[in-house]
A and B are shown apart, each in its own frame.
Chain A
Amino acid sequence: MAQYGPFVMRDSAQHAPALTPTYKTSVLRSPKNALISIPQTLTEMSGPLFKASELGPKDNDLILNFAKDGLPVGERIIVHGYVRDEFGRPVPNALVEVWQANASGRYRHRKDTYIGALDPNFGGCGRVLTDENGYYRYRTIRPGPYPWRNRINEWRPAHIHYAIHGDGWAQRLITQMYFEGDTLINTCPILATVPNDEQRRGLIALEDRANFIELDSRAYRFDIYLRGRRMTWFENKA
């Protein structure tokens, strides 16, 4: 049992508060009461596990996994990195799920009505399990920025959404990845909900020039840190 001790307390100062009025939708969708902190039980220390056989061969290739009669239009990129815990230990077998707009900034979703063109050969979602070193990678088209109604002329920076299952329910995380150098990063009210510079920088993928593939794809590096497990050095009081 020693390897399955409780997770380290979440440091709420490193995350957005629930109520962030400049991101307007949060005003009616944030609890008024403080979260109630509970000691972890097996419910929080365990979590769903996933098998490679549950994923398809192109699930981590967004360039090909929806291609019908040709390749999608846009910048070909590889995104890769490591999923680790707070102590730097790799998180193997983590489920990394991603979704994004196409090169126009248009989402394949029945509720998206932006004038930017849909791409018949691009779906916009993928998923991958980390290997024994916590490493993941997928291939995609770099998404375009996207206008939305917050203030009247708000634009999201180019971003890719991530959802990660580690090996415990308490590690469940949903976030967004941005691209180094995008000037819209500095004015985004959603990224601005994150309370400090270091944590905002933690969401920006870096151009990984050494891993460009000649005459094919550029590469971005994005590492993710999940909550770490403490060891149970001594028996829990029973």
Chain B
Amino acid sequence: MQAQPQQQLTHYKETASQTGGPYVHIGLAPQQAGFEIFENNFGHVLTRPDTPGERIRIEGTVYDGLGLPMRDVLLEIWQADGEGHYAHPADPKPSSFRGWGRTGADFDTGLYTFETIKPGAVPAADGRPQAPHIAVWVVARGINMGLHTRIYFSDEQAANERDPVLTGIEWVSRRKTLIAQREQRGAETVYRFDIRIQGQGGAEDLETVFFDI
């Protein structure tokens, strides 16, 4: 039988991910690598003096499968403003708050920090509100593809209990790994969010939930 002429359905494969390696700071945080090169550096402070919203600090440590801090990890966050709007044209009411930042963990202590504002609620695909949350992306030596997770807030219990992403996690005991714990440090509001890359299994597994988004 003669072959029928046909069009080609062209679909390109996404470029394969590779680890960021131990020197990821050179490209993404050169001052931390130990040198000055760019006039404008992207960093961990998302607020400006005139940014509206409740000022918060987010801090934590990323742990490996032995419970040791990962001191070479780099994190980025993406979030809405205090009213729940993103600085992106996909948002019906785009914000002027950038909502993005990055930082490397401290080489000695492993602690990471962001200075930002608490985000407002953002609608889910079906229009229901999601609880306030911040998207997190984690890269490091040993991580072949950046890990996605979300920060929720311990003082938003009612909203968290209705959040479609949190409540979509079948293993109820794992949901708590995404809740940052609020504490007051003088005038400063701090949320502690530790990330455990690899748990030991079992019903009380504390491995942080990671998403395929």
Which residues of A are in contact with B by a Cβ distance under 8 Å? 1, 4, 6, 10-12, 14-18, 20, 23, 25-33, 35-49, 54-56, 59, 65-66, 84-88, 97-100, 107-112, 123-125, 127, 161, 163, 167-170, 172-176, 190-191, 193-194, 198-200, 202-203, 224-227, 236-238
Name the A residues within 8 Å of B124 (CB-CB).
39, 41
| 10 A-B interface contacts by CB (under 8 A) | A29-B140, A38-B168, A46-B90, A48-B98, A56-B39, A86-B12, A123-B37, A161-B18, A169-B135, A175-B17
B183 at the interface (CB under 8 A from A): no
A26–B39 Cα distance when bound, in Å, is 35
On whether the beta carbons of A123 and B14 are closer than 8 Å, the reply is no
8 nearest interchain CB pairs?
A99-B27, A25-B142, A29-B142, A46-B88, A48-B100, A4-B90, A16-B144, A28-B65
Query: How close is B9's CB to chain A, nearest CB, in angstroms?
Result: 10
Q: A26-B143, A28-B65 are in contact. Are A203 and B207 (CB under 8 A)?
A: no
Since A10-B212, A29-B143, A30-B197 are in contact, a sample of 17 more A-B pairs with Cβ atoms closer than 8 Å, ordered by chain A residue number, is A16-B18, A26-B19, A26-B144, A29-B64, A30-B198, A31-B197, A33-B205, A38-B212, A47-B78, A48-B99, A49-B87, A55-B38, A65-B37, A111-B23, A169-B135, A169-B137, A174-B139
Which residues of B are in contact with A by a Cβ distance under 8 Å? 10-28, 30, 33-35, 37-40, 64-66, 70, 72, 76, 78, 80, 86-92, 98-100, 107, 122-127, 130, 133, 135, 137, 139-147, 150, 165, 168-169, 174, 197-199, 201, 205, 207-213
A35–B169 Cα distance when bound, in Å, is 11
A226 touches which one: B14, B39, B87, B208 (CB < 8 A)?
Answer: B14
CB closest residue in chain A, given B73? A29
